[in-house]
Amino acid sequence: MPTIRRLPEHLVNRIAAGEVVERPASALKELVENAIDAGSTQVTVRLASGGLDMIEVTDDGCGMRPDEIALALERHATSKLPDEQIEMVATLGFRGEALPSIGSVARLTIESRPPDAAEGWRRVIDHGLVAADGPAALPQGTRIRVDDLFGKVPARRKFLRSPRSEYAACLDVVRRLAMARPDIGFVMEQDGRRVLAVQPREELAARVARLIARELADDGVLIEAERGASRLTGIAGLPTYNRGVADHQYLFVNGRPVKDRLLVGAVRGAYSDMLARDRHAVLALFLDIPPEEVDVNVHPAKTEVRFRDPAFVRGFLVGALRHALEGAGQKSAQPAASAAMNMWQVEPVAPAAPSLGSLFAREYGGSSSRVSEAGTAWRSYEAEVMAQPAARAEPAAEAGEEALRYPLGVARGQVAGTYIVAEAEDGLVIVDQHAAHERLVLEKLKAAGAEEAMNRSQALLLPEVVELEETACDAVEDKITDLARHGLVLERFGPAAMLVRAVPSVLPKNDVAALVRDVADDLARNGDALLLGEKLDLVLATMACHGSVRAGRSLSVAEMNALLREMERTPRSGQCNHGRPTWVKLAHQDIEKLFGRK
């Protein structure tokens, strides 16, 4: 039998590096978090080849003395846990593994100077061995440089991606940390080119919009909510401002960027009846809760957290997001003016026509008297034509000037039996009548309590037994009461099966087993029966679609105006149930540009 032995220090550090330093972005994350925890007001990041060749992080924080630098390079040495209450940690880093792990797989240079020191100190670790140690000249703060990451560990180096891919991962790390701390300025350079720069002491919404997308400032809603000792802030994009991937969802817990399935599921639930299945919201949410209510020590890279009361957190997020989106009213993400203008076809300008006088002169041989007579005759004919009544539709009842001041204006006509054209005080509004009415019907169904009626159970003629793993049955059994409120009535049927007695009346009965398995999977993933509620939301949306005004139906002017006024009163009427806009606007100045007036 092999004997048990203690691993050497350098091997322990390399094993730890495999957990902490997965790629250049992982090392960069640890270094920037240390800079933030040091009380910095400015952090500068420099990369070469996406961090494969060089990573340098400079800050103006508290700095370190020579003995502190030496201690910081030992495993499990940190200044961020003043006592042993790890559940009360308030800093980004606290394990004390980052610096020795990085130093074991790269050439690590640390230069630091506290504010009260006459000079700084420099220490170099080359793949676990001390290569240099002595004074250094630098201003207050710390500068850490990582060269040749995994240079002597070819087995790890060959698994890294291209410089472009590694740079993209590093940029995402800095972007997320810069969002979390709008009080700190950040600068990032890649191969000598500045790629990111934000000033300190920015407003949160302005910082987020600058880092995600500038359109978010106009096409998003601010989130401000409190429940007990918990607080949620941030900015969430309108449902009509969405993406095809979920990469633009930034979630933070107590200032720590996280990728948490519970929070992602809550976001999905909040947008469930406002986005198509293949579209994703754009947002940045900052959740602040008491430290004892969240465990941040569940992942080596600290990217995952565990909540003591997940149901409270999920309900808080869903409620706050829905309330903010409802407050947006009929607001819809509008296409950029330049993009909208490019969609309009402008007739090509023909060469300048010859003057009337030159035409007559050419026709009548240049005789001035005959030209004058012909001109007089032409003007008489023109006046007669212009006096004739124009071909036009039957005039609608005239709307007062105050009608133009409505946000969506007053209806002027209908195009292709599908689109309502309205005139507002500040431009031309085009409404998709089917998409708009679909949203109005859905909101009325919810407001009238139709959802509760839909949740009524329909008993199965023969109860169905669904076999599950015992742990899944335990999770479902714990939520039997909650599931019954949704209309799904279950009983435990032995150690590894559930008996289904009734299902929600509006859901299909042909695959009850699949429904129960989906709910069990959702419970295992999110800790609560979100999926069943989302299925009912989809049924409501389907009913709203079938009960709404169809495209191709002719509407009277009174019906069109009634639809516009109802949209202005209904929350979330700016998008249909699938996240598409229900209306667009062309401003007066854009119309003038189309005709060359501006």
Residue extents of the structural domains in the chain: 9-198, 204-325, 329-342+401-598
pLDDT of residue 556: 81
Residue 204's nearest CA partner among 145, 143, 255 is 255
pLDDT of residue 559: 82
Do residues 205 and 217 touch, judged by C-beta distance below 8 A? yes
Do residues 22 and 110 touch, judged by C-beta distance below 8 A? no
pLDDT of residue 383: 57
Do residues 465 and 498 touch, judged by C-beta distance below 8 A? yes
Which residues partner with 257 through β-bridges? 252
CA–CA distance from 392 to each of 381, 389, 395, 396, 412 (Å)?
22, 9, 8, 11, 13
8 by DSSP, 3-state: which?
coil
pLDDT of residue 354: 53
Per-residue pLDDT of the chain (598 residues; tens, 9 = 90+): 777 888 777 677 666 666 678 899 999 999 999 999 999 999 999 999 999 999 999 999 999 999 999 988 887 666 655 555 666 666 776 666 788 889 988 999 999 999 999 899 999 999 888 999 999 999 999 999 999 998 888 878 888 888 999 999 999 999 999 999 999 999 999 999 999 999 999 898 889 988 988 888 888 899 999 999 999 999 998 888 888 778 889 999 998 898 888 888 889 888 877 777 778 889 999 999 998 888 887 766 667 788 988 888 988 998 899 888 887 766 666 654 455 555 555 555 555 555 545 544 554 454 555 545 555 654 565 555 455 554 444 454 555 556 567 778 888 888 887 888 888 888 888 888 887 887 777 777 666 555 565 556 788 888 999 998 888 898 888 888 878 877 788 999 998 899 999 887 766 666 788 878 878 877 776 555 555 666 556 555 655 565 556 556 777 888 888 888 888 887 777 877 777 788 888 888 878 877 777 6
User: Rounded distance, CA 123 to CA 132, Å?
Assistant: 6
Shared fold status for 204-325 and 329-342+401-598 = no
Residue 124's nearest CA partner among 139, 138, 113, 134 is 134
pLDDT of residue 415: 84
**Does the reported pTM lie above 0.75?**
no
**Domain range 9-198, its CATH number among 3.90.1530.30, 3.30.565.10, 3.40.47.10, 3.40.470.10:** 3.30.565.10
Q: Residue for token digits 């969802």? A: 249
Number of residues assigned to the chain: 598
- Looking at the structure, give the CATH architecture of the domain made up of residues 329-342+401-598: 2-Layer Sandwich (3.30)
Q: CB-based contacts of 401: which residues, under 8 Å, 6+ apart?
A: none
CATH topology of domain 204-325: Ribosomal Protein S5; domain 2 (3.30.230)
Longest dimension (CA), the chain: 125
User: Rounded distance, CA 48 to CA 336, Å?
Assistant: 36
- Which one-letter amino acid corresponds to residue 550? R
- Which one-letter amino acid corresponds to residue 167? Y
Q: Which residues of 342-367 are buried (b: 16+ CB within 10 A; e: fewer)?
A: eeeeeeeeeeeeeeeeeebbeeeeee
Question: For 213-216, which contacts have Cβ atoms below 8 Å and span 24 or more sequence positions?
Answer: 213/248, 213/282, 215/241, 215/333, 215/336, 216/241, 216/282
pLDDT of residue 394: 45
pLDDT of residue 125: 94
